[in-house]
Structures are given as structure tokens and as C-alpha cells.
Amino acid sequence: MESFDELLRLAEAAHGHLCAGQILGVRMALLGLNRLGITDPRGADRKRFVTSVEIDRCATDAISVVTGCRLGKRALKFRDWGKMAATFVEVATGRGIRVVAHEDSRALADDLYRHLETKRERQMNAYRELPDAQLFREQWVRVALEPADLPGGPGERIKCARCGEGVNFGRFAFIDGEQVCLSCASPESRYWEPIAPEN
Ligand SMILES: [Zn+2]
Ligand SMILES: [Zn+2]
């Protein structure tokens, strides 16, 4: 695998800027991959694991770059929990390592690097230099991966009996004997509502 600095450059290019989150994300991904024994995540090992992320912040982009796990490959899972955490899961066993950034790591950066002028510099140096144990909590977890969660083909495709929209990967429910998409099955879960009457 590339060196830390090479990975950071790749992350910077993909994300659009260099920030503390890129450094943190590269560190989280390297730690997770190391624990799973994955050395070639974007090559020979690319089908061995998937990654779940729990926040839509800078670090998530870096995690995607280092792991090669992307939403469009169904290898990146997003749980919108607002936590600086990611879980790297071995597909064959469902065993995963969940890595969480310590909540006090910002305060630690301010404390240890107080000679540096800006918060950004303090965080970037801390996230680059401190050992994993000072930055992260790790836990082994079990993740129930369904066939529909795994990278691969589109799976079964149905047409929703109510809205007529096509649905892949078994994301439908049976209601009154009909195959219905999840947004018709539970309209309260929709993230949108129509602003004009449907025609
Ligand atoms: Zn950023
Ligand atoms: Zn529908």
C-alpha cells in the first residue's frame, strides 16, 4: 500500500482540500485495514471487506479513498449518526473492527500542541503524530451482512405496485399481497414531499 503521505495526497485531491479530517480519516482507515489484515484494499483485497461510516464529514472522504469503498460499489454504507466512527467488516465472516475517534482528541491536540498558533495546525499535527491508542477507541463487532448489502450485481428488480418506480436489491415490502417500494410502504420515512399535486 502507499505511504501515509501518498495516501494523504490522494485524499486531498479527492476531497478538494487538505484538512484535519483528511488526516484523521486516513489514520482511521489504515488502522481498520491493519486490524483486518488487509494490505491491498483497492486491488487483490477489494472484495474481502466493506466499510460503514457514521458521519458525513471530511474524514469520510478520506476513508473512502484509502479503502476504495464507494457508495456506487455498494461497499460503503452510511449510517447518519453524526459520529466520527467507521466499521471495517470482513465479508466472509461478518467480523468487523469499529474505530471511533476519542471525543477528547481535540482538547488533547490543543493541550499537547499549544505552541502552535491555530486550532487547525494543532489538530493536524496531533492527528498525524499521536499513537492510535490516544486518538481512537477500537472494538471488535459482529455485523449481519445480508446478500443485498454485498457488492455485486443488482439482484432482483421489481416495479412498485403503488408508485410504479423500479426497485433493486430486494428493497421492497409485501403489503396486502403486493410488492411495494419502501417509501410507499412507510410514507412517513420519506425525505421529500411533493410540492405540487401529482398528475
Ligand atoms: Zn475537509
Ligand atoms: Zn412505490
pLDDT score of 132 more than 70: yes
C-alpha 164 to ligand 2 mean position (Å) = 6
pTM above 0.85, yes or no: yes
Q: Considering every ligand atom, which ligand is closest to the CA of 22?
A: 1
* Mean pLDDT, rounded, for 25-53: 97
C-alpha 135 to ligand 1 mean position (Å) = 18
Query: How many angstroms separate the CA atoms of 170 and 183, rounded?
Result: 13
C-alpha 167 to ligand 2 mean position (Å) = 9
C-alpha 35 to ligand 2 mean position (Å) = 41
Reported confidence tier of residue 8, pLDDT bands at 50, 70, 90: very high
Give me the pLDDT at residue 199, please.
61
